[in-house]
C-alpha cells in the first residue's frame, strides 16, 4: 500500500534530519526537503489517477475544460506554495515563508480571476433579468 511507503519515507527522513541537526543543520534541512520530494513522487501516480477521474466527470457533465485547467492550476499553486513555505520555515526563515504564502495567495487570485469574472457576469445577468 502506498501510504505505508510514505510513512516509512517520512519517518526515515525525520530520523536522519534529527540526527544530522546535531552536526550540520543545513544538511538536516536538505534531508527533510529530500524526504518531502520523495513523498511527492510517491503520490504522483495517485494524483494522475485523480486528474483522469476529474476529467471524466467534466466531460460527462459537458463542462468547459478551461474551468478544469484553472482548478488544476490553483490546486498545483496551493500545494507548491505549502510545500515551499514549509521548507523555508524549516530552514528558520519564517518571515520569508510568509512572503511565499502571500505570493501564493496572489497567484491563486490571479489564476482564478477568469472564474470570478464569469460568476460576476452571471450574477449581473440574473439581477438585470
- As a whole-number percent, the residues of the chain with pLDDT over 70 amount to 99
Clarify whether residues 49 and 105 are in a common domain: no
Alpha carbon distance 52, 44 (integer Å): 13
Among 63, 91, 113, residue at a domain's last position: 63
Is 42 in the same domain as 75? no
What pLDDT, on a 0 to 100 scale, did the predictor assign at position 16? 92
Average pLDDT of the chain, as a whole number: 87
Flag whether pLDDT at 28 surpasses 80: yes
How far is 50 from 84, CA to CA, in rounded Å?
A: 23
Indicate if the pLDDT at residue 115 is higher than 80: yes
pLDDT digits 0-9 by tens, 41-91: 888 877 777 777 877 877 787 777 778 788 889 989 999 999 899 888 888
114 and 70 belong to one structural domain = yes
Measure the CA dihedral 27/28/29/34, to 10°: 90
Q: Map grid coordinates 449581473 to a residue.
A: 124
The SS3 call for residue 24 is coil
Q: Is the pLDDT of residue 104 over 80?
A: yes
Per the structure, the complete domain to which residue 120 belongs is given by 64-129
In terms of domains, do 68 and 129 share one?
yes
**Claim to verify: residue 43 and residue 71 sit in the same structural domain:** no
Amino acid at each position: 500500500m502506498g501510504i505505508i511507503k510514505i510513512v516509512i519515507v517520512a519517518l526515515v527522513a525525520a530520523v536522519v534530519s534529527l540526527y544530522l541537526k546535531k552536526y550540520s543543520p543545513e544538511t538536516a534541512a536538505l534531508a527533510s526537503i529530500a524526504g518531502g520530494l520523495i513523498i511527492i513522487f510517491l503520490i504522483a501516480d495517485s494524483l494522475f489517477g485523480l486528474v483522469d477521474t476529474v476529467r471524466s466527470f467534466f466531460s460527462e457533465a459537458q463542462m468547459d475544460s478551461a474551468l478544469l485547467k484553472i482548478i488544476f492550476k490553483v490546486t498545483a499553486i496551493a500545494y507548491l506554495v505549502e510545500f515551499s513555505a514549509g521548507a523555508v520555515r524549516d530552514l528558520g526563515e519564517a518571515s520569508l515563508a510568509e512572503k511565499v504564502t502571500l505570493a501564493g495567495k496572489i497567484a491563486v487570485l490571479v489564476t482564478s480571476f477568469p472564474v470570478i469574472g464569469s460568476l460576476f457576469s452571471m450574477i449581473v445577468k440574473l439581477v438585470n433579468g
